[in-house]
């Protein structure tokens, strides 16, 4: 009581870093993000909510660190071990775009905080800000909508309602297209 043993003192600053990689390639990471990746003992890469223009091997070579790919199953239902690791060592979780552009990453942030894991976020460019390259003003966009993959049995039309709602208010709609990076069959969906 009254003091920390050396193991606890070393781990008092352990952290989960949610690091945005931007939208392009390996060089779009911020300098702060790069420093934190190099400091981390473990590095994970989530690439199922967006596609980066390079692969995990290219990132590994650039960072000088092994980069483990984290698929949908890992992030949504199997990441507790990673969150626990981040209570004892620095862990970098790399995200295409910005960490808070996808609800998946917001959920990961909240789960980490609930477990008592310290979290730092490094923001970067995302599709939500890059939309300005179209020449359309960001303040003229209504709610964003995701257009999911259709199957023979499932063809939801709910996204039409949001587009129409935005149109009635004279607002643009950013439509995100669902990605199926790993889920190439109905069974894997």
Helices (H) and strands (E) in the chain — how many of each?
Answer: 8, 7
Give the pLDDT confidence score for residue 47 in this predicted structure.
82
Say which residues have a Cβ less than 8 Å from residue 121's Cβ, sequence separation at least 6: 17, 18, 19, 20, 99, 100, 109
Residue 11: is its pLDDT beyond 60?
no
Q: What is the mean pLDDT of residues 144-160?
A: 85
Residue 9: is its pLDDT beyond 50?
no
Contact 38, 64 (CB under 8 A): yes
Place of tokens 């984290």: 70
Look up residue 88 and give its two tokens: 């004892």
Among 1-5, 52-56, 99-103, which stretch is predicted with the lowest mean pLDDT? 1-5
Give the pLDDT confidence score for residue 35 in this predicted structure.
97
Look up residue 72 and give its two tokens: 């949908």
Give the pLDDT confidence score for residue 177 in this predicted structure.
84
Q: Which of the four pLDDT bands, split at 50, 70 and 90, describes residue 72? A: confident
Residue 15: is its pLDDT beyond 50?
yes
Give the pLDDT confidence score for residue 181 in this predicted structure.
53
In angstroms, the CA 67 to CA 96 distance is: 14
Place of tokens 């179209």: 134
Q: Which of the four pLDDT bands, split at 50, 70 and 90, describes residue 157? A: confident
User: Residue 16's beta-bridge partner residues?
Assistant: 91, 119
Q: Which of the four pLDDT bands, split at 50, 70 and 90, describes residue 12? A: low
First to last CA, the chain: 51
Give the pLDDT confidence score for residue 8 in this predicted structure.
42
Q: What is the mean pLDDT of residues 29-47?
A: 96
Indicate the burial class of 12 (C-beta count within 10 angstroms; 0-12, 13-18, 19 or more): exposed
- Supply the DSSP symbol for 102: S
Helix (H) or strand (E) holding 82: helix 80-85
Beta strand pairing status for 42-46 and 119-122? Answer: unpaired
Give the pLDDT confidence score for residue 86 in this predicted structure.
96
């Amino acid at each position: 009581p009254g003091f920390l043993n050396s193991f606890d003192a070393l781990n008092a600053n352990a952290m989960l870093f949610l690091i945005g990689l931007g939208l392009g390639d390996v060089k779009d990471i911020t300098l702060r993000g790069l420093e934190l990746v190099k400091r981390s003992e473990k590095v994970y890469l989530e690439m199922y909510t967006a596609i980066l223009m390079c692969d995990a091997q290219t990132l590994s070579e650039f960072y000088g660190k092994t980069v483990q790919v984290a698929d949908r199953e890992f992030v949504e239902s199997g990441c507790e071990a990673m969150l626990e690791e981040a209570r004892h060592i620095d862990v970098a979780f790399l995200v295409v775009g910005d960490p808070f552009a996808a609800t998946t990453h917001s959920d990961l942030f909240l789960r980490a905080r609930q477990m008592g894991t310290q979290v730092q976020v490094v923001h970067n460019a995302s599709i939500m800000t890059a939309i300005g390259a179209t020449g359309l003003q960001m303040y003229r966009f209504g709610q964003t909508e995701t257009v999911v993959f259709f199957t023979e049995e499932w063809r939801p039309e709910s996204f039409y309602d949001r587009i129409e709602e935005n149109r009635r208010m004279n607002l643009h709609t950013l439509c995100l297209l669902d990605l199926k990076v790993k889920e190439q069959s109905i069974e894997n969906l």
